[in-house]
Amino acid sequence: MQPYMKKWILVFVALLICALIYNVWPEKRLPEGVVIDKLVVHKSKHTLEGFANGKRIKTYTVSIGPHPKGDKQEEGDGRTPEGAYIIDAKNPHSGYHKNLGISYPNAADRAEAKRKGVKPGGDVKIHGLRNGTGIIGKFHRLADWTLGCIALTDAEVDELYSHVPIGTPILILP
């Protein structure tokens, strides 16, 4: 084997090891008993912030729909909605590792869709990875892959699930 090939193989192995460590390195956990009373999503930054008593206590990196610019216009457009909503449901048995329901579409979304003659869509969630694919972990962040939902790692959605009550406001910004 040529010396330059050995060098590239070593570089590749080192990068692979770093990527694997990144994927399994634990994130800082929220303290027990903290209740998140507000969520803010910044689509352009791919972040979801959790607040308690007006103070930001944690920021998560998220994946969103494959067409991240602009508000959701209609069912199937691959956009994550923008606006003020609430967490209206929790599902521990979804097709994705748990989810928190977002109250999209609201009255304004339905009226806008009706005006345009389209269906607004729905079923927008904060969820983990598709069941059985949790090993992907943080690598899911490399692409916007949801149908318009907000995706986290399974561990992160477990954390939010236990700290976010139904009725919590969520603001989704461009």
Dihedral pair phi/psi, residue 135, rounded to 5°: -60, -25
| Residue 146 to residue 87: CA distance in whole angstroms | 18
| Residue 161 to residue 126: CA distance in whole angstroms | 9
Give me the catalytic one of 97, 140, 149, 163: 149
Place of tokens 């090891």: 17
Closest CA to 159 of 94, 80, 98, 91: 98
Give me the catalytic one of 97, 127, 140, 163: 127
- Is 140 tagged catalytic? no
- Is 149 tagged catalytic? yes
Exposure string over 128-150, b if 16+ CB within 10 A, otherwise e:
bbeeeeeeebbebbeebbbbbbb
| Residue 167 to residue 58: CA distance in whole angstroms | 19
Active site residues: 127, 149
